[in-house]
Amino acid sequence: MVKEDKARIPEMVVAKFPMFKTNVSWLQHDFAYTLENIYNFPMFSISETLEKFAPAIAALACDHKILSSGDRVEASTDLLRTTELLLQLLGIYFKKKGCIGSIDRLVVSSQVLPSVDEMIDRRRAIKQIAPMIFVIQNARGTDYFVSTDDFALKVHGNFGDALHYLTALHYVLYIEYAKELLQFNVLLENLCEINTKKMPKSRLNLKMDLDTKMKCRYFPRTPMKWSHAFALSSKWFPLVSNDWLPFSRECFNCPG
């Protein structure tokens, strides 16, 4: 198949199966089948994972001074803001300029443009050939779409669901991730415990720091004596693994 035909695969599939345009969740069955039978991966949820890690991402963003402590709680409940922070953190950890794309390479958002067609025109104007997410705010609330080149597939859910189905679209239709968003998309998979072997050091360090922040959430905010902590863990959590109870001063002093 020539390169031009490969680029048109999403359009050909959507034209043949128009129900995708009104409800992108029709991809879910094909996503699960593709993961299991083509890639030998278990089913994973980008939406649930991003929501789970959102407080850790906000906490780490505070550490790196890209989020104020006053905005931390609100940011951890806004998955679009969480995604933007995660992209910024990737830029910090990778350090190399131009290696990580910004949020406007992933999301086209508008409070004034009334039609999906105009959003598609904006996507073409920035020369983004990879699928994107459209966020359109209107009187009824906020609508989310996953965009191919010619079509926008309606998401019945929140931004996390849109990001999940954007990933599903890449897998089901064998679309390569955009070069500038590759590290971001693969990090999301890593947080789902997918593709965790042979991770580059920068991405591995970020994942480990987020995992540490997640573990910190299970500890009291006030530090206690080590002997007391050990006694409590032995009494109440005799079967809990050390992965869940990492007795470190970093965790005990964690503000989150």
Question: What pairing do the DSSP bridges indicate for beta strands 152-155 and 141-147?
Answer: antiparallel
Residues 244 and 169 grouped into a single domain: no
Q: Do residues 179 and 239 share a domain?
A: no
Residue 248 shares a structural domain with residue 203: no
Q: Are residues 124 and 36 in the same domain?
A: yes
The Cα-based distances of 62 to 28, 103, 110, 224, 250 in angstroms read 35, 19, 27, 24, 15
In the chain, the number of structural domains is: 2
Q: Count how many residues are written for the chain.
A: 256
**What's at 78, amino acid-wise?**
D
Please state, rounded to an integer, the average pLDDT across all residues of the chain: 81
Contact 47, 212 (CB under 8 A): no
- Do 204 and 247 sit in the same domain of this protein? no
Look-up: residue for tokens 């048109």? 8
Same domain? 246 vs 127: no
Residue 135 bridge partners (DSSP): 109, 144
Q: For 33-86, how does the pLDDT look when each residue is reduced to its tens digit (9 = 90+)? A: 999 999 999 999 999 999 999 999 999 999 999 999 889 888 889 999 999 999
Rounded to two decimals, the pTM is 0.79
What is the pLDDT averaged over residues 102-121? 83
Confidence class for position 31, pLDDT limits 50, 70, 90:
very high
Which pLDDT belongs to residue 169?
A: 93
107 within 8 A of 79, measured Cβ to Cβ = no
Are 24 and 145 members of one domain? yes
Q: What's the pLDDT tens digit per position in 162-187?
A: 999 999 999 998 889 999 999 999 99
Please, are residues 133 and 144 in contact by the beta-carbon 8 Å criterion? yes
8 shares its domain with 124: yes
Domain limits for position 109: 3-212
Query: Is there a single domain that holds both residue 223 and residue 149?
Result: no
Q: Are residues 235 and 171 in the same domain?
A: no
Span 221-243, average pLDDT? 45
Banded model confidence at residue 209, pLDDT cuts 50, 70, 90? very high
Give yes or no: residues 190 and 225 share one domain: no
User: What is the C-alpha separation between 143 and 207, in angstroms, rounded?
Assistant: 31
Residue range 221-230: mean pLDDT, rounded = 46
**Residues 125 and 38 reside in one and the same domain:** yes
DSSP state at residue 150: S
Residue 5: pLDDT band with limits 50, 70, 90:
low
Are 51 and 79 a contacting pair, CB within 8 Å? yes
